[in-house]
Structure 1
Amino acid sequence: MSSNNEPILGVLYKIHQQQPLTPEEEALLNNWLRETADAAGILEQLKEDKELVAYLKGRLDQENEQRALERFRSMAFSHTGNAEVEAATPAIQKHPRSRYLVWGWAAAILVIAVASVALWKMGKPVHKTDAPVLTNNQQQDALPGSDRAILTLASGEKVLLDSSHRNIIQQKDFNVTNRDNQLDYTGSSSVVEEHTLSTPRGGQYKLLLPDGTTVWLNAASSITYPTAFTGDSRKVKITGELYFEVAKDSKRPFHVMANGMEVQVLGTHFNINAYDDEKDIKTTLLEGSVKVTRDAASVILRPGEQTSVSHKSKPSQPISVQTEEVMAWKNGTFFFNRTPFSEVMRQLSRWYDVDVIYEKEIPTINFGGEMKRDLNLSQVLEGFDKMGVQFRIEGKKLIIAP
């Protein structure tokens, strides 16, 4: 497959979808029409043959997945001391804000050669790329997480939330509705009660609070809140990791409590990572301003800054961070930047609902890169082959053996 031919399929597909072409694509198409013997026939086939389009899209998925896997495997892993994962080849694109490797498992890039189209048209078989094969005696797999959560009402009743559950509370001026994988509180509740929304391992969810604040919950997280915010402040309690877009209300500050730490805001966007199995509670600001307090000590964050609080320390001085790394989970990806192997495994444990078991010591490897969260666990682990780490999945256990 010639890399010089790869862009033309994107142009052909845009023609089939009746999408406008850029001047560069027009020039590419003109060159291809001049140089390809049966170009007109292929164009006509694209317009009329739905099976051909389905075939191209199927080949696209297979080719992209295989190319990404080969890229991933081409990385060189070092295991001496506190080693870091570095790129083994300059052919792999790096993230514009990071010198660490970025790879796409299902990127929307058309990479099938024109020869494949011609072979289809002539009725000749085209070799398909096999799906990833489970290795290291791996006989089972774990699916990625999905939108699911549990709502605990003031009475203690637990409501399982999924795409099928709709109206939960219906009153004259107050409603709690589950729709489109989001829990919505609308109206004004005459009786203020405390509710808790929690996600299991392998779950995530979105919440619209009574004041209009929107909250995203990562896996194994929770938020406790009133059905109506009264008085001169708005307070919630959390565990795990959550992202907030707080509705502005200058007269009622918004307070988030997490393991003895408090974040105070008026209206802003920020993320809190407060998992019990992580060393620090990390607060990252994306927009606006927040005040982070613990034991009478406080710091003010500006956009793009982060502060850390351990279970015994005061807030650290703010540092600048890559917000796309922090928000990767909300945007459907894992983003690792000098991330220790053990932390990577904790993230996988939460998202794939598996317990990570180390048969010996924990590998001392730092990891850098990005991948989609919609992959099966076996596909993620395929990329770890060159790390010299053996693994196997047994039911809900991911067993690591260096």
Structure 2
Amino acid sequence: MTRPRQPTLRLLSLNVNGLQDKDKRRWLFNLLERDKWDVILLQETHHRSPEEGAAWAQEGPNGLRCNWSGPAFWCHYTSQSRGVAILFRATAKTSNLTVRHSSATGRTLSVDFTFSGLPYTVVCVYAPSVAADRPHYYTQELLSSLPGDRHLLVGGNFNCIAGQQDMLDPDSPPGQRTLGYWTGLRHVETDHSLYDVWRDLNSDRRAFTHIATSGQSAARLDRWLISERLRARVSKEPQAIGNVLGYPGDHLGVSLSLTAPAATLYGAAVWRLPLHLLDDQPFCDRIAEAVPAYLGAHPLGPDLTRGRRWEDLKRQVKDIALQRSWALAAQQRASQKVLEADSRAAMAAYSRSPSAETLLAWQDAHQLLQALNAEAAKGAALHAGVVWQFYGEQSTFWFHHLARDRQSRTELKALRAAHARAASAI
């Protein structure tokens, strides 16, 4: 039955610590495509011009296809510092995208858009790491750039904390980390009725997104601040709000998921057999056994017409294909889940008992996860290279034609043989 579903908007904020390295860009964009984020905020991109940022989005693995096919907005500085970007997935349920503000300092970028009929502004923030510069940035640059008549989604690296609870060393004072919050960022939160989503849902927990260069402390510098009016729209799904592991950069990513309040009716989606399963021998063997067995167990008769049996058989094939696809996906994710669990366990151990030993254990676990994701990006680039080698540069229409031609040549021989026998018997 068709049931109501609520449109969702999945957002990610990530400090990438420079994207001048081509392999690092390939790694990043592969993960963004894999995890299907709708809106992505990037800080410390280190791009020198809007043209360079746009070229990064278009270059693709080995120059074979686009890294990012959706709208991308870039605010530049130099190849060594700053730079922010906001990316929208091509299939995201957003519209009316317009750049509202792009700072000359390479620290702030905001884009207006519409989601579920309401006006939003998403803002990417990379605050100064020098404590003395933060109050001026927040009160003079960020505060003046925010609209007062739209729903605000402000994410990024704020480079300051509200107090002791946002640090993971309970014996050390916040010190420099709070400088710029009470004299700068707090004014922004108050004037625009913004609240810290993660802290609101985790009032008693400690967490961190960045480890100090010295390796002696860690703090929650990255977060999402959103309008109070959006409180009811924050998704209740697990992992909707929290840290994101395994991405390139020296900070953890932070996620946010919003759900539109009005349900939208969606019909049953069109399903097609994944053609890659035709190269999977276990799947082919199972289909070769299942089709004759099904036809033998369901002979034609007054209560079962050819059309009805054909529809039922297609459902059987679909179920088998879905089961095999899920099994293959589970195999591919197994190693990643193990490393993610190790990384989260090590992070929790450091949270409970901050020390040099637990900090190094978490760094080692997280680096293993990053290495696995980097290898996956290489595999995706290799696949793109194979596709290019066989098909070259072609139009979109040509690829649709290729798919239709391939489907027309796909036969379930056991089914055809059974129909032939039934026809000859009539």
TM range (shorter): under 0.3
Report the structure, 1 or 2, having the larger strand content: 1
Write 1 or 2 for the structure with the bigger share of helix. 2
By relative contact order (CA 8 Å, sep 6+), the higher-ranking structure is 2
**Please, what TM-score do these two structures have when normalized by structure 2?**
0.22
